[in-house]
Structure 1
């Protein structure tokens, strides 16, 4: 009898131990699942944060686009008569829209991947070259250009540091180091460390600025900019090589063949940044054609600069050159300048013909 009770007791204890063991095992699994949910919640929180940043960026970009569209609609010709607006418009449709496209959103990528008409990067570069030619011909300061003060009747928005940097890059690639220097300096002046949307860094600007300063012959200034770069990043290899090279030129020393090779190669790379805002001397080398400067001066001429005696010699007349058609309808000719002769012909093409030409020129 005692054996029976002992057996029942042992079986009961064993069952209780097994049940408790299973409970403990189940709780351990649940705790592991809880850890899984905690980690998933963290990842979801990070995703939502990144998604919020992405949406804020898109909203700001859309705000800029809507502002430009509100100015352009209904007065497109007047709006695009300002070349700064043309440059910004091309920049929107090239680099900035593709930056939006690269964001991790398949819906946006699908919308932009449709067969829309987009300008190419070559078109954007072409608008930058046009701005440089306009600036050179009419002697417009970089600050005026960057502030959109080309067409007083229709000003554009101010250029950002990124945009000034891009125009400076266009000049740099085309070996126009004079304007590259001025635009890089303008980019540096407008650079904001707090702007997280900037596509460039202070390091990019200073590196180009030091290189073009050296190309313009200001070795001391190039060395000073390089030293600023090294103050930010002491381990920057191209800047270290350039520093040795510039110092040797200043001290009249001769570099070894390998040192020259490293220094010249490093000048083509992107360097580092600085907290200072070092200003460089902007002196253009006198190596351009005198004839080119003459015609640019003529583009800037106006009758207000002529004396009363010279203005009195200017005239207007009907010109036909004995052509039968022109005898019936001669061309209106106005002399604007005497030496050299500059003539303006009025009403050569009618407004109707102009509109027809514009229709024919529109891409189908």
Structure 2
């Protein structure tokens, strides 16, 4: 569910129904509780008669009758009046929303999405916690930030995100989130203890029982967070800090065997380090972006709009109206921006489809959506590398699809009939949706399409929606960042003119921060285009 924003959008309507259903239940429950409260008060008053008077309640025939009646039927009816509606509510919840609700896996991957956005866009954790997504960049003049104080994360949420980083061996970020979680818990402890102290003093309680009663669950959460933090610091080689954290955890539960063993282990390692200086930093790489991977570092920098082509390269780039000499385009030439002239050739065409056409394509795709995978036709797997859902549309599925395919042929000058292209691939990215650096062409070993259709020669990518922030298409080798431009089409060549794969066509879809990103890909193959894009004079052209 997390892999498609269109599916996540449906959850809003689900929760709206749940809110209304719960409000209706609470309204009725207040009435039932009021009735129960009146019943309890009556029973209490009659019981007081036995205490205040020498004669027991049961010695009076009316009193005895009322007592027996209450215990034989009234109590049961009132308990049922509270319990049964709750059972009905739970049963209705399970029956009406079965299959419509996200799973625990969706929640876990949603936490990973926040970690991914933090990593790629170098977001401040405290801003994320307070609901602010400050990017310092924008798309289509739409501010790249959104302040949502109502979306503030609670301590349990922060801890859940920290555990997500921990489980992926991303100890560096786990430490950051765990520290924030613990700091928030301790700040809330100070506030709550002060309030509870005042409350207990007002109640005349000097034992502190009122203060302690409300903190058991929070202390358990803090204890768990300290354990995670201690181990994460240990895995990074921060032995002294890890020892201090485990000692702090031990103060909450001195008899916890695992914590005591960890303290002893760390003390031995620290003594050994002091003697021999053999402290090893065992930090694991982040699962979606290894810090040692230059390709990923450049990819993330491009997503942040930090890199641009060299000035001498930019000086040769042009914007123009293009018709390709085609009579269909002579009266309405297309606004074109050349982003890279060679290796790879990258061109952005503006307004290649209408809003209505884009919506039709999205509507046709929705019933066919399935989780995107990576690999080839022989071995495809789901992966965090690609977070989206997709569908395939044939030209016969709708007149709009056929019309758009023909238009792509006019714009590119290439053969885009069904015998030379793949079906139109439509994608909707999910929460933090991305597609890490990859090539569209297939290697000789993969051989998916055979000799007649040939390899993917060109990619024509259309943006079917806007996004508020993130979601750019980037080319790490060419240093090109293409922001999402609704209704625009991006053309780049996957192969050299010799037919060899152009390694410089490496590209990626940056994580979407705010918004729902829809795109459509049309892959144009070699077959049928032998004389449209002819070979050059050398293998490297």
Sort the TM-score into its range (normalised by shorter chain): 0.5 to 0.7
Counterpart among 297, 301, 307 of residue 301 in structure 2:
297
Structure 1 position 214, deviation (Å): 0.9
Query: How far apart are 1:297 and its partner, in Å?
Result: 0.7
**How many angstroms apart in 1 are the aligned matches of 2:146 and 2:174?**
28
Match of 1:114 among 73, 76, 95: 95
Q: Give the match for residue 168 of structure 2.
A: 174
In the other structure, the counterpart of 1:94 is none
Contact 2:132 2:146 in 1 (8 A): no
**Greater fraction of residues in strand:** 2
SS at match of 1:148: coil
Match of 2:145? Answer: 152
Shift of 1:338: 9.4
Higher mean displacement: 314-323 or 144-153? 314-323
Query: Alpha-carbon deviations, 1:165-222, whole Å to 9, x = none?
Result: 1111111111111111111111112223348786962112111111111111111100
Question: Which residue of structure 2 aligns with residue 210 of structure 1?
Answer: 230
Name the larger-Rg structure.
1
Query: Contact between 2:239 and 2:270, CA under 8 Å: does it hold in 1?
Result: yes
TM-superposed CA distance for 1:128, in Å, is 1.4
CA contact (8 A) 1:137 1:296 kept: yes
Higher relative contact order (CA 8 A, sep 6+): 2
Question: SS of the residue aligned with 1:114?
Answer: helix
SS at match of 1:242: helix
Quote the residue 2:247 is aligned against: 227
- The unaligned stretches of length 5 or more in structure 2 are 1-54, 134-143, 193-213, 274-282, 369-541
Cα deviation for residue 306 of structure 1 reads 8.3
Do the aligned partners of 2:219 and 2:252 also contact (CA within 8 Å) in 1?
no
SS at match of 1:149: coil
Q: 1:199 and 1:327 mapped to 2: Cα distance?
A: 73
CA distance in 1, matches of 2:232, 2:347: 41
1:358 aligns with 2:352: no
Q: Would you say the 8 A contact 1:335–1:344 is kept in 2?
A: yes
Q: Does the Cα contact within 8 Å between 1:185 and 1:209 map onto a contact in 2? A: yes
Whether 1:132 and 2:93 are equivalent positions in the alignment is: no
| Superimposed CA distance per residue, residues 60-113 of structure 1 (whole angstroms, 9 cap, x where no aligned partner) | xxxxxxxxxxxxxxxxxxxxxxxxxxxxxxxxxxxxxxxxxxx99313212211
Q: Secondary structure at the match of 1:317?
A: strand
- Equivalenced residues, count: 251
* Structure 2 SS opposite 1:334: strand
More helix by share: 1
* Residue aligned with 1:105, SS: helix
Give the alignment's TM-score, normalised by structure 2: 0.39
Correspondence list, 1:178-193, <5 A = 178-191=172-185, 192-193=188-189
Question: Aligned pair 1:105/2:86, yes or no?
Answer: yes
- Contact 2:291–2:297 under 8 Å retained in 1: no
Residue 357 of structure 1 and its aligned partner are, at CA, apart by: 3.3
Contact 1:162 1:200 in 2 (8 A): no
Is the deviation greater in 334-343 or in 230-239? Answer: 334-343
